[in-house]
Chains A and B, each alone.
Chain A
């Protein structure tokens, strides 16, 4: 079974530029998550999708971050404009539908550096 795919793996941009990350979850997984992991900290949830609907985006900085999951499969996360403090690893994870969704499967992440 293929795992969660993310691209690009690394991205370097200057502040005020925009950037987009892509995630393809495990086939058949209804729930998709985006996390932000700042160096030295644990991942923090940004947004959770159930199929193509948003379940939780309470920690997403909506003035600059946006995410979509068209057709309930892959997803993109965008930052516009980027700030220095956005430097982090952005992780995508997926889990199957239903109540027993304790196991989340994580992709390798995209490391973003904002200069």
Chain B
């Protein structure tokens, strides 16, 4: 079965320093992986997605993630944190497809990112 594990429930960084949010996945085949962000009182928004093309995926707001099959990881990074990056981040894997439809999204438990001035 497909699953993701977010290794940190809370990450705190200072503004201007790098961000690293860690995610490991489990999949019986080549997975589709995503990162979503959830700002307080706002809907979830797609940051980036990996669907078996380039292993380094660039997303919105300067975020990127690298798919590493040997490590079963899909960590999210950003070179320099901004105050507006404070939010909850979810690593997501697409589940098994059946019945002619794409598999549903399986979310990790989330990592809350705090950014200190």
Neighbour of B90 across the interface among A33, A42, A56, A93, CB < 8 A: A42
Selecting from A13-21, A43-51, A68-76, A79-87, the interface stretch reads A43-51
Residues 34-78 of B at the A interface (beta carbon under 8 Å): 34, 41-46, 49, 51
Assess whether B117 is interfacial by the CB under 8 Å rule: no
Could you tell me which A residues sit within 8 Å of B by CB distance?
3-4, 33, 40-45, 48, 50, 55-56, 91, 93, 99, 101-109
Closest to A55 in B: B101
Interface string of B101-112 (1 = CB under 8 A from A): 110110111100
Contact-residue size bin, chain B (C-beta under 8 Å from the other chain): 20 to 34
Give 6 closest A-B pairs by Cβ, nearest first: A42-B107, A106-B43, A106-B44, A45-B104, A55-B101, A108-B43
Assess whether B32 is interfacial by the CB under 8 Å rule: yes
Provide the residues of chain A in CB contact with B45, threshold 8 Å. Answer: 106
Provide the residues of chain B in CB contact with A55, threshold 8 Å. Answer: 99, 101
Q: Is the interface of A mostly helix, strand, loop or mixed?
A: loop
Closest to A104 in B: B105
Provide the residues of chain B in CB contact with A41, threshold 8 Å. Answer: 109-110
Taking the nearest CB of chain A, how far is it from the CB of B65, in angstroms? 14
Contact: B49 with A107, CB < 8 Å? Answer: no
Query: Which of B51, B94, B104: most chain A CB closer than 10 A?
Result: B104
Neighbour of A56 across the interface among B46, B49, B104, CB < 8 A: B104
Provide the residues of chain A in CB contact with B90, threshold 8 Å. Answer: 42-43
Taking the nearest CB of chain B, how far is it from the CB of A6, in angstroms? 9
